[in-house]
Structure 1
């Protein structure tokens, strides 16, 4: 079943506002007078929730909903345009990339996904660091996640926590850490890589051409950006 874009936007906004106030789902649910399971359903974004329920959750955060209409995915187009107008160095400064890489040390890895595309000059939005990590380095990667206070994404809760960190455990390879969100592509061998240099630092990344063939999320954004650039 295709998820509703509206439900996902409500889910992402509520989750962002709740976590920015350092509230757990249970804490916000108690304040709003609703059940934690109801709040979890809203934050999962599986379906459009009850509007009164959503309004109650936002009101507890001293916020209210506003409804507007726009061209389909106009917010994404605006984001692509804004990123394209900014120097690459500024876009990289928005990410905790160097701190993550320094902390990873000699753990074998590559940058992949939207992170790799951004480093190669493509103005795509990046909301976390995308890594490729070998399965045989899983134990070291798990130790690293523990060191940076990682919490595993819990699809059932629509939130982080409540799951074991190890990539071998069932669930999406997505963690919240002290450096923001980390997403991992676990693989038997690291993909083909190239090195891209910025400010005297080299970044080993999966080439854009490979990403277009292997990463649907990144490929979709690349196609959208190219269509806008050509238009």
Structure 2
């Protein structure tokens, strides 16, 4: 299991148990003898808790950690099944997609990756707004990132910050901003799109067939979903 996913799962478990007991982060921190800042970072998946700290947090809520194993990526199949049962509008709202698009302004960009797949009805996990941008608009995008307090993903440190914002600089095209995370595919010309509509709003998206050919992660998720449909006779 990748470390980043494990940290996220542990943080989610702590947050869910705290909500079930109607505790604030401050109250849980006091019960467990840790700082509220530590609880916040753990729940957000920003910090891997030590085993003693994790045990104290859980014990303060009268639960304990149980370790098990499962087939690799079994969690992904369960996640896809869960998303398939949820309305697209609910998932769009959860992502904060409309607000982020409004904040981006009017420079040319189209929706791609898993975000485009979501808008076309595919129940694939979406972690960030994914867009395609032209290299010629990169300076405008950099100015937007500066105004949005953007930080670029630092693969060496495994966190955001500490590297240049500009897309021209080496590194993944992935930024955290005050409005949410944005991932970009930089290109000379924007890809062909289709329009889909939800809630009276139109979105320019890369078609599913093109996503499978050009977006490795989104393509993998789409093929996984299709294979599960075929296996179940859907």
TM-score by length of structure 1 reads 0.77
2:139 — aligned with what?
A: 139
Cα distance in 2 for partners of 1:189, 1:108 equals 10
1:109 — aligned with what?
A: 109
Q: Are the equivalent residues in 2 in contact too, given 1:108–1:133 (CA < 8 A)?
A: yes
Aligned-pair CA distance for 1:72:
2.9
1:79 — aligned with what?
A: 79
Q: What are the Cα deviations for residues 121-165 of structure 1, in whole angstroms up to 9, with x where unaligned? A: 111010110010100000110111112111111111111111111
Aligned-pair CA distance for 1:89:
1.3
Aligned-pair CA distance for 1:59:
6.0
Aligned-pair CA distance for 1:70:
2.2
Q: 1:13 to 1:175 in 2, by over 3 A?
A: farther
Cα distance in 1 for partners of 2:186, 2:176 equals 17
Q: 1:206 to 1:172 in 2, by over 3 A?
A: same
> Which sections of structure 1, spanning at least 5 residues, go unmatched?
22-27, 32-39, 44-52
Cα distance in 2 for partners of 1:172, 1:15 equals 25
CA RMSD of aligned residues (A): 2.6
2:197 — aligned with what?
A: 197
> Which sections of structure 2, spanning at least 5 residues, go unmatched?
14-24, 26-34, 39-45, 59-63
1:94 — aligned with what?
A: 94
Cα distance in 2 for partners of 1:156, 1:14 equals 23
Q: What are the Cα deviations for residues 67-110 of structure 1, in whole angstroms up to 9, with x where unaligned? A: 11223322111110111011111121111111111111211000
Cα distance in 2 for partners of 1:66, 1:154 equals 32
1:175 — aligned with what?
A: 175
Aligned-pair CA distance for 1:177:
1.0
Aligned-pair CA distance for 1:10:
2.8
Q: Are the equivalent residues in 1 in contact too, given 2:92–2:98 (CA < 8 A)?
A: no
1:7 — aligned with what?
A: 3
If you compute each CA radius of gyration, which structure gives the higher value, 1 or 2?
2
TM-score by length of structure 2 reads 0.76
The SS at the match of 1:94 is: helix
Q: Are the equivalent residues in 1 in contact too, given 2:145–2:177 (CA < 8 A)?
A: yes
Q: 1:218 to 1:111 in 2, by over 3 A?
A: same
Higher relative contact order (CA 8 A, sep 6+): 1
The SS at the match of 2:122 is: coil
Q: How many residues align?
A: 198
- Runs (4+) of structure 1 exceeding 2 A deviation are 5-17, 53-60, 62-66
Cα distance in 2 for partners of 1:65, 1:169 equals 42
The SS at the match of 1:228 is: helix
Equivalent runs, 1:1-231 vs 2, <5 Å: 5-13=1-9, 54-55=50-51, 58=54, 62=57, 66-230=66-230, 231=232
Cα distance in 2 for partners of 1:202, 1:170 equals 34
Q: Are the equivalent residues in 1 in contact too, given 2:114–2:130 (CA < 8 A)?
A: yes
